[in-house]
């Protein structure tokens, strides 16, 4: 399922127009992104938790040349599925 499929499903299930469903889906994604960029976790009970983890700097290799490169430290988004989502999948 891609974003267009998600928007169509939201519009169909909620009775919203596609334009309103696009706004709703974009708003949810933007809100989650803003919360994560501010360092907050987003907990959706029954669905899961979005959080940010710190990845430390490391050394890697360029696969083409074999040259060593430094990979800088960065913050990475992380998602942990909730119990209800795990049960729905299984």
Fold of 41-90: HU Protein; Chain A (4.10.520)
The predicted model gives 14-22 an average pLDDT of 94
At 71 the pLDDT is 95
Domains in the chain: boundaries? 1-39, 41-90
0.85 exceeded by pTM = no
CA distances (Å), 48 to each of 1, 28, 40, 43, 84, in order? 19, 14, 14, 6, 9
Q: What is the mean pLDDT of the chain?
A: 95
Q: What token pair was written down for 15?
A: 């009775």
User: 52-87: per-residue pLDDT in tens?
Assistant: 999 999 999 999 999 999 999 999 999 999 999 999
């Amino acid at each position: 399922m891609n974003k267009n499929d998600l928007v169509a499903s939201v519009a169909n299930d909620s009775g919203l127009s596609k334009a309103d469903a696009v706004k709703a889906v974009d708003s949810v994604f933007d809100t989650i992104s803003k919360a994560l960029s501010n360092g907050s976790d987003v907990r959706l009970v029954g669905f899961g938790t979005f959080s940010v983890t710190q990845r430390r700097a490391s050394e890697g290799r360029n696969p083409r040349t074999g040259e060593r490169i430094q990979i800088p430290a960065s913050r990475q988004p992380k998602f942990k599925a909730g119990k209800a989502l795990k049960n729905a999948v299984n």
